[in-house]
């Protein structure tokens, strides 16, 4: 029988957060369960600077310590050491995150075993053998799957990444019962977003919808841009909706083409106010969150903003191709809830590759008609 962990009730807990936006959203259920387990402890989240604003108003943490991307390990360790944490929890599986807890002298240190970091932890949790990994398939495997079409075995809802982080919190006695990821924006942020970015309509308007056509991981996660154009144009014709295009600075050329394509398809070039507002590269993280929360629904690739929208209660419509909704879908694992996940049923999917070595059939076989039906269903719900 293993010794109780932690050995005593902690009053100061440090959680080393993950490094990517979508992953960060998927850790929110684990952080809330940790809060339930230790309601009197002060929970500090140690997170990359780019994600610090995500946690404003989040009830699972009391304090955020942000670090810059180029900050040295020893400098950050000195900052943490001064805080005298009773318990440190490393959510990433990296060696560096365990080193941060060890050098920061958290009295007890928890993380998953692996990557040579177990000696740095006082509790190295074993990853379940059955836990699914995002194993990339080779080009040869993909081509072979097309010659002998065999659908991959079903993936259990227990394999979802939300469960992965909950399993780690279970090591300190927290509940493993899943809850949907959640974030918070404030009414004043919603009002400020509308005032700053949404032109006042000149007449009756339909719903406000979001479109997020980028995906940082690579082109294999992106539905073809001309299909975003056609879907957006036809939904506007059916509903008189307004579209907000979201994305980072690197998505601006893509969203410019899509905005131009929608305007051309609808013959509205030069119309004021335009039913298409291109905000790619123009919002910070809190403004992105306010924008996502303002939308009736968001049509989006599998990406960090997809998770943000869903965690704020906005239904998302997502074409899934190279990735697996069983592992990383937004919302409560195992339940689509208000969301719509679009899949082509290609035998080579999921492959988890950045670029498709064949013809991207997992995405191109998801039709515009399927997407339109899902968007309209989300509006009506």
Task: Give the model confidence (pLDDT) of 37-66 as tens digits.
Answer: 999 999 999 999 999 999 999 999 999 999
**Per-residue pLDDT, 1:** 46
DSSP string spanning 129-142?
TT----PPPPHHHH
pLDDT at res. 139: 80
Q: Give the tokens for residue 293.
A: 């929360």
Asked if 340 and 372 touch (Cβ cutoff 8 Å), the reply is: no
CATH of domain 12-126+157-170: 3.40.50.2000
When computed from its CA atoms, the radius of gyration of the chain, rounded to whole angstroms, is 22
Distances (CA, A) of 54 to 40, 47, 171, 183, 346: 23, 10, 26, 8, 35
Question: Which segments of 92-232 are extended strands (E)?
Answer: 108-112, 123-125, 208-212
CA distance 289 to 345: 32
- Residue 100's Cβ-count burial label (10 Å; 0-12, 13-18, 19+) is buried
Query: Does residue 124 surpass a pLDDT of 60?
Result: yes
Are 344 and 363 in contact by the 8 Å Cβ rule? The answer is yes
Asked whether 2 and 125 are in contact (CB, 8 A), the reply is no
Q: Which of 339, 342, 350 is nearest to 366 (CA)?
A: 342
Does domain 187-380 bear CATH number 3.30.420.40? Answer: no
In tens, the pLDDT along 152-186 reads 667 777 889 999 999 999 999 999 999 999 999 99
Higher pLDDT: 199 or 363? It is: 363
Q: What is the mean pLDDT of the chain?
A: 93
- pLDDT interval class at 268 (50, 70, 90): confident
pLDDT at residue 303 is higher than 80: yes
Which regions of the chain carry the CATH code 3.40.50.2000? 12-126+157-170, 187-380
Whether the predicted pLDDT of 119 surpasses 60: yes
Token pair in block for residue 161: 């990444």
Closest CA to 179 of 13, 90, 94, 59: 59
In 3D space, the residue among 203, 274, 270 whose CA is nearest the CA of residue 245 turns out to be 274
For 166, 207, 262, 289, 332, the CA distances from 337, given in Å and listed in that order, are: 20, 20, 29, 20, 7
**CA-to-CA distance for 165 and 28, rounded, in angstroms?**
9
Q: What is the DSSP letter of 305?
A: H
Question: What pLDDT shows up at residue 128?
Answer: 73
Q: What is the mean pLDDT of residues 249-258?
A: 97
The candidate with the shortest Cα–Cα distance to 218, out of 366, 23, 309, 351, is 351
């Amino acid at each position: 029988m293993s010794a109780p962990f932690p050995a005593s009730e902690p009053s100061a807990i440090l959680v080393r957060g993950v490094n990517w936006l979508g992953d960060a959203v998927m850790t929110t259920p684990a952080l809330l369960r940790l809060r339930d387990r230790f309601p009197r402890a002060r929970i500090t989240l140690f997170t990359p600077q780019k994600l610090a604003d995500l946690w404003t108003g989040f009830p699972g943490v009391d304090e955020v310590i942000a670090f810059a991307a180029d900050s040295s390990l020893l400098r950050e360790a000195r900052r943490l050491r001064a805080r005298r944490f009773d318990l440190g929890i490393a959510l990433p599986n990296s060696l560096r995150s365990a080193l941060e807890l060890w050098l920061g002298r958290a009295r007890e240190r928890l993380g998953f075993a692996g990557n040579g970091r177990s000696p740095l932890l006082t509790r190295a949790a074993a990853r379940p053998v059955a836990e699914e990994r995002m194993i990339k398939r080779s080009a040869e495997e993909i081509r072979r799957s097309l010659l002998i079409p065999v659908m991959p075995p079903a993936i259990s809802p227990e394999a979802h990444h939300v469960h992965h982080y909950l399993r780690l919190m279970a090591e300190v006695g927290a509940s493993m019962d899943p809850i949907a990821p959640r974030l918070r924006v404030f009414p004043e942020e919603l009002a400020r977003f509308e005032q700053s970015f949404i032109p006042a309509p000149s007449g009756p308007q339909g719903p406000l919808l979001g479109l997020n056509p980028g995906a940082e991981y690579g082109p294999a996660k992106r539905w073809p841009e001309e299909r975003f154009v056609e879907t957006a144009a036809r939904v506007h014709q059916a509903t008189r909706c307004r579209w907000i295009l979201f994305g980072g600075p690197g998505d601006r050329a893509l969203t410019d083409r899509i905005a131009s394509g929608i305007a051309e398809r609808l013959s509205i070039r030069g119309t004021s106010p335009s039913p298409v507002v291109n905000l790619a590269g123009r919002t910070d993280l809190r403004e992105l969150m306010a924008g996502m929360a303002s939308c009736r629904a968001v049509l989006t690739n599998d990406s960090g903003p997809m998770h943000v929208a869903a965690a704020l209660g906005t239904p998302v419509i997502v074409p899934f191709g190279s990735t697996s909704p069983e592992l990383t879908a937004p919302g409560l694992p195992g339940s689509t809830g208000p969301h719509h996940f679009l899949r082509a049923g290609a035998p080579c999917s999921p492959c988890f590759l950045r670029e498709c070595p064949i013809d991207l059939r997992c995405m191109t076989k998801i039709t515009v008609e399927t997407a339109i039906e899902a968007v309209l269903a989300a509006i009506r719900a």
